[in-house]
Amino acid sequence: MHWLKVEQRLLDIDLDIKKALHFERPDMAKCLKALEELDSLALAPLMLKKQPDIVTTIRKIRKYVGPQMVMEAALADDWTQKSKKIRLKANQVRIKCTEKKLTMSCSQSLETYMLLHTSDLQQAAECICRS
């Protein structure tokens, strides 16, 4: 039961991050809080395989620069600092996820591994549905 709760929280965190980084008015503090929680979760390789969207989200926010519209200098500075923290935290979480890929070969990136195994999982699910 604990496993399912962690998976559900993984989905919730993914959604929280996506909502928090809205392009017009991001809530970067909420995103950082969600990333902290994600970093503290006890993840297993199978969880990442079953929930590949979180890996994609982390990959995308590793390059996050924040909103490009500048309203006030103080706000722009705050956004710049927080977006840097978001990138650093996303990198930290990605490293943690990469360490969880226990069974994959060292030559594959996390994204490549997830794409290959997600398609395998989808094919297996289709076979089960046809049966």
CATH code: domain of residue 83: 1.20.930.10
Q: Which domain, by its residues, includes 111?
A: 2-130
1 pLDDT more than 90: no
CA distances from 24 to 2, 32, 65, 68, 130 (A): 36, 17, 13, 9, 44
Q: What pLDDT, on a 0 to 100 scale, did the predictor assign at position 103?
A: 47
State how many domains the chain has: 1
Q: What pLDDT, on a 0 to 100 scale, did the predictor assign at position 2?
A: 84
Q: Tens of pLDDT along 18-59?
A: 999 988 788 999 999 999 999 999 888 888 888 889 989 999
